Amino acid sequence: MERIVEHMSDETYTANLIGSTGTETVELEFINGLPQKSFVRPVQGETTEDSEEVVWELDPDADSDEFSYRIAGIPGADYS
């Protein structure tokens, strides 16, 4: 289910990234007035060398007033 954005003039929104080490808040850009369904962003490990890029996916079960994302996998990984 897609959420309709009330303030179409706003170009960005606050997103909550819910990961295994806690929650981080970032600003993302709307695409055609809608929140991004998914995007790729690094997740920090214990050291800088441990960081890796992961796919963040919009949580469809999140509160309708918030945009929450959860890790959905690693870009280019073969899950077959």
Whether 79 is in a domain gets the answer no
Rounded mean pLDDT, 7-28: 84
Whether 31 is in a domain gets the answer yes
Q: What share of the chain is helix, strand, coil (3-state, %, to 5)?
A: 5, 50, 50
Q: How many domains does the chain have?
A: 1
* Model confidence at 65: pLDDT above 80: no
pLDDT in tens, 29-44: 999 999 999 999 988 7
Domain ranges, residue 31? 12-73
Whether 32 is in a domain gets the answer yes
Whether 66 is in a domain gets the answer yes
pTM: 0.74
Whether 6 is in a domain gets the answer no
pLDDT of residue 37: 95
Give Cα 54 to chain centroid, integer Å: 10
Whether 2 is in a domain gets the answer no
